[in-house]
Structure 1
Amino acid sequence: MSAPTEDNSDLKITEYKASRYNQLFQRDKGNWLAFNALTCGLAEMNSDNHRLFAMFLEKTGLGEFDIEKDFILQLQAGGFIVPREMDEIEAIRAGHYQARFGRKDFCLTIIPTLACNFSCDYCYEPRSVPVRDVQSPFIMPEEVCNNIGALCEKRIAENTHFHVTWYGGEPLLAMDTIEKLTNKFKSMCSSKGSSYFASVITNGYLLTKECLNILISSGVVFIQITVDGPEQIHNERRHLKSGAPTYQTILQNLENIEDDSPLLVAVRINIDKRNSEDIYLLLEELRTRGLNHCRNIVIYLGQVIHNLESCSNVAFECMAANEFASFSAEIYKEMIKLGFKIPIYPHVMMGSCAAVGTGGAVIEPDGTIHNCWNAVGNKSMSVGQLTRNGIEYNPNSVKWLGWNAFRDECLNCNILPICMGGCPYRTIKRDAISDAMNNTCSIWKYNMKSLLEIARMAREKGLLIVPWEKIKKR
């Protein structure tokens, strides 16, 4: 731990207690890692500092004897020790509700079309969604676009941030709508002194150089693309509706992203039992193409989860949360060896997911409103309808607004701040999904030591990327 320079001669160790969100792991003989889930502070300790810190964790107290104040200040800065009178749970509870219901920033997930050019076997969007001709998909009509504009005019506050995620279906099938709405958003934000930025969740097939340039000019700073394995495996899982392959086109589009591009691109690899053994081969293929040297491309793993009846065909192929956590650790180690940038570091989820707050909405092409994009296409989970006067909410909205992050099984968990009750969607759907309880918690619960060690190694090699922190700097 490095020493701070500020003077604090009146600081007394007896005025502090150990945070309830500390974890301590031995790296090797004489060296330890300490982590605090409330600040996400990570510290390396030698044996002497570990001995003192362990006394806090064991609640034995240190008494009045000589301890270097620099060490105390480091513990304080990392949140490892807190004032004795502080109630951390109440502090988290206050911050949680402020973040959920008191935020001024506005976030929308907009689905300009539910049409998709892919036919992925594990897609959670219900098969009951009409599959229209990809050449002439149903696009969000002008009336809904105007209603979105009216909603934003009311909700975008002065000197704040407005963030849009373009989602689908496949959003790049509706580029005209993205451009049209973006022009409205930029004009509104400019007049109110607010900032605007956007993200795109895409399968990557249509992400040509021309499309990239349009997205950049439309304020897009983050793009997520999915590649599910080496060529044969990916094409079996993520092919066009015609059955045609997609792998080579997607990788060529990734190679077209310039190092000086303002974009941050996350390549997501969806993992289940069917493709897990092939991920090493995929990483080698990506390395051969030079993607490990791209400044603005990161790679991360996604867990395929049986969210709805529409993806019940892969239910028995999904990994349990603890199984996925263990597997992820091994793959991330391999990524570091190959020089890939990874976004693996926990962050505080003070407001939980945006789905349980009042700072945004998910809007389908016909104006149907959801709180969570996992519910897209499922009208029974809709929370309202967008009209010219704003959003008219229905009784389903109460399930989300009343969602409780401080349930008994979560209240005493030492990673509560970075999980904050887990995924609200999976909790609300618990009765309908047989394995929901097993998959509600964050993977950090199951493999904290290994994942933190991986994050430490990635940081030392300059390969650790925290996506939203990087975006803020752009």
Structure 2
Amino acid sequence: MKISRYNQLIEKDNYLILFNSISNAILYVEPNKVKEVKEVLESGNIEEIKLSDEDIEKLKKGLYIIPDEFDEITYLKMRLNNYKYSDRFLRYTISLTEECNFSCVYCYQQMLITLMDKKPAKIAKNIVNTILNMTEKRFEEEHPKVLSITFYGGEPLLALDELETLSKGFEEMCKKFEVKYEANVVTNGYLLTHDIVNRLLNCGVNSVIITIDGDKTLHDKYRKTKSDKPTFDKIMENINYAQDKMYVTIRTNISKNSIENVKKMIKILAEKGWRVDFDFQPVEVVEELSTGFNDEMLTLREFANVEVELYKEVITLIPDYPFNPFRRLRMARCDALCKNSCVIDVDGSIYKCWGEIGNKFSSVGKITKEDIELNHKFEKWITYEPFEDQKCMECSVLPMCMGGCVFNAVVVDRLNSSPWRKPYTCIPLKYNLKEMVSLLSDKKLGVKI
């Protein structure tokens, strides 16, 4: 037996927390066993282990100690490849329209449309029909167990008829082939009225991701309508109805200037007692694509600290919030690496990353009259592995990150399809893993935060 290279030891006042980033196992070590467990895991001297057989089995089960022949990198390669080449999942992100009713200060999509001097387009009927036909063909040939759809834009609710046509078709197809159907829509929430919530539910869409960037003062500064109207109150009114009918995730983009406003937003949502999930993300501004957004950006390390701070706020104000960032294993950081995952643009162009929509240089294919026709750029995505990067190989969170955002590695370095690089590749857990594990353990153990 030997010690896993992916263990984390977190010392508390009178006990020890063990975490393993391959298994996501969390183990609480009682005070009377802390010394023995630390000696084993820090020295690697398993032969002289003084723990009971039952305790040793727990360490084995969590992969804190592993067989001598267990090569963790080989295991991660196998796990990644199983995920990438599996037929179990079929995933589409479908851009329904380039049109948007908002004019957000940091939005690069609308800026690109303006730079290209083009009129925002909507997905055509023939592309909608081809998507449905090719999906049925995939069902017949590959027999997936899950169809996962994300409706995207622009603002996808501006193309509600097309959304309904697609989702009803997917839903009927899934019933016919006994495939689980999962559908969500990424929306600004402004059009998510009672009627539209019900229409979404009636066509199988029961999950929404809505962006709110802080309290009313800050959100209305960042995210106005194109006619310069505030949006916060209307969105909150819509969430009030939606959160009781659907799974609602509040996505919040954060800069150095917005942290206190985000805390105020959390308090507002907590006081309302709404059932929502939270997804905090740093605002990313690429210098070469300046949108005129002047707030100061957070470095990844700074955002990692802020993320912990904000989740502490959530757990304090919403004690029953189901916080657990380690609920499921991440075989790959991004579905873009999977062969059966693609992003479909309004004109039928195929991409692997939704951040690449509209960049024809990185398109990996197109929809024809009958199916998808892929080019050789597709192979550059599918064959990427983080094990090529020495920094990744030396990183303690590799099993959870698996290379992080692969935009720079694939789009910039492999495809030479973008003149700019994203500011971050790694994930916040690189800098806040111990704090996030500790926060979860405190919640589970009832420790006052």
TM-score, normalised via structure 2 length = 0.90
Describe the shift of the 1:380–1:312 C-alpha distance in structure 2 as closer, same or farther (beyond 3 A): farther
Partner of 1:144: 127
Code of the residue aligned with 2:252 in structure 1: it is I
Q: Alignment partner for residue 120 of structure 1, among 100, 104, 109? A: 104
1:298 aligns with 2:274: no
1:383 aligns with 2:364: yes
Is residue 90–residue 340 contact of structure 2 (8 Å, CA) maintained in 1? yes
Code of the residue aligned with 1:51 in structure 2: it is K
What is the aligned length? 436
Q: Identify the range of structure 1 (231-240 vs 272-281) with the bigger mean alpha-carbon deviation.
A: 272-281
CA distance in 1, matches of 2:421, 2:347: 32
Partner of 2:45: 61
CA distance in 2, matches of 1:363, 1:303: 25
Q: Alignment partner for residue 399 of structure 1, among 380, 394, 400? A: 380
Is residue 126–residue 377 contact of structure 1 (8 Å, CA) maintained in 2? no
Task: Please list, as runs of the form range in 1=range in 2, the aligned pairs for 1:213-228 lying within 5 A after superposition.
Answer: 213-228=198-213
Q: Alignment partner for residue 412 of structure 1, among 394, 399, 408? A: 394
Partner of 1:96: 80
1:374 aligns with 2:358: no
1:43 aligns with 2:24: no
Deviation at residue 258 of structure 1 after TM alignment: 5.2
Code of the residue aligned with 2:409 in structure 1: it is T
SS at match of 1:58: helix
C-alpha deviations, 1:143-179, integer Å up to 9, x for none? 1011101220122243611111111111111111111
Deviation at residue 232 of structure 1 after TM alignment: 1.6
Q: Alignment partner for residue 283 of structure 1, among 240, 245, 266? A: 266
Code of the residue aligned with 1:321 in structure 2: it is L
Task: Please list, as runs of the form range in 1=range in 2, the aligned pairs for 1:411-450 lying within 5 A after superposition.
Answer: 411-429=393-411, 436=422, 439-450=424-435
Describe the shift of the 1:321–1:146 C-alpha distance in structure 2 as closer, same or farther (beyond 3 A): same
1:270 aligns with 2:249: no
Is residue 342–residue 350 contact of structure 2 (8 Å, CA) maintained in 1? yes
CA distance in 1, matches of 2:243, 2:42: 52
Q: Alignment partner for residue 322 of structure 1, among 272, 284, 301? A: 301
SS at match of 1:251: helix
Is residue 10–residue 434 contact of structure 2 (8 Å, CA) maintained in 1? yes
CA distance in 1, matches of 2:96, 2:202: 18
CA distance in 2, matches of 1:316, 1:240: 20
Deviation at residue 344 of structure 1 after TM alignment: 4.6
CA distance in 1, matches of 2:307, 2:223: 21
Is residue 307–residue 426 contact of structure 1 (8 Å, CA) maintained in 2? no
CA distance in 2, matches of 1:433, 1:82: 44
SS at match of 2:315: helix
Q: Identify the range of structure 1 (47-56 vs 364-373) with the bigger mean alpha-carbon deviation.
A: 47-56
Code of the residue aligned with 1:299 in structure 2: it is F
Q: Identify the range of structure 1 (311-320 vs 221-230) with the bigger mean alpha-carbon deviation.
A: 311-320
Runs of 5+ consecutive residues of structure 2 not aligned to the other structure: none
SS at match of 1:317: coil
SS at match of 1:43: strand
SS at match of 2:12: strand
Is residue 91–residue 148 contact of structure 2 (8 Å, CA) maintained in 1? yes
TM-score, normalised via structure 1 length = 0.86
Deviation at residue 106 of structure 1 after TM alignment: 0.4
Is residue 249–residue 279 contact of structure 2 (8 Å, CA) maintained in 1? yes
Describe the shift of the 1:311–1:459 C-alpha distance in structure 2 as closer, same or farther (beyond 3 A): farther
Describe the shift of the 1:453–1:145 C-alpha distance in structure 2 as closer, same or farther (beyond 3 A): same
CA distance in 2, matches of 1:415, 1:425: 19
CA distance in 2, matches of 1:307, 1:217: 39
Deviation at residue 281 of structure 1 after TM alignment: 2.2
Task: Please list, as runs of the form range in 1=range in 2, the aligned pairs for 1:145-294 lying within 5 A after superposition.
Answer: 145-156=128-139, 157-158=142-143, 160-257=145-242, 259=244, 261=245, 263-288=246-271, 290=272, 293-294=273-274
Deviation at residue 61 of structure 1 after TM alignment: 1.4
Deviation at residue 52 of structure 1 after TM alignment: 2.7
CA distance in 2, matches of 1:234, 1:200: 20
Is residue 300–residue 343 contact of structure 1 (8 Å, CA) maintained in 2? no
Deviation at residue 267 of structure 1 after TM alignment: 0.7
1:331 aligns with 2:321: no
1:52 aligns with 2:36: yes
Is residue 164–residue 198 contact of structure 1 (8 Å, CA) maintained in 2? yes
Q: Identify the range of structure 1 (66-75 vs 220-229) with the bigger mean alpha-carbon deviation.
A: 66-75
Deviation at residue 322 of structure 1 after TM alignment: 0.3
SS at match of 2:207: strand
Is residue 96–residue 352 contact of structure 1 (8 Å, CA) maintained in 2? no
C-alpha deviations, 1:330-384, integer Å up to 9, x for none? 1211111111636551343213311112012100111011101111222222111
CA distance in 1, matches of 2:298, 2:187: 24
Partner of 1:468: none
Root mean square deviation of aligned Cα: 2.5
Deviation at residue 242 of structure 1 after TM alignment: 0.8
Code of the residue aligned with 1:73 in structure 2: it is E
Deviation at residue 401 of structure 1 after TM alignment: 2.1
Code of the residue aligned with 2:264 in structure 1: it is L
Q: Alignment partner for residue 56 of structure 2, among 47, 51, 72? A: 72
Code of the residue aligned with 1:161 in structure 2: it is V
Q: Alignment partner for residue 110 of structure 1, among 74, 87, 94? A: 94
Code of the residue aligned with 1:423 in structure 2: it is C
CA distance in 1, matches of 2:121, 2:178: 34
CA distance in 2, matches of 1:70, 1:280: 44
CA distance in 2, matches of 1:84, 1:315: 53
CA distance in 1, matches of 2:412, 2:15: 41
CA distance in 2, matches of 1:429, 1:311: 19
Describe the shift of the 1:205–1:265 C-alpha distance in structure 2 as closer, same or farther (beyond 3 A): same
Identity among equivalent positions (%) equals 32
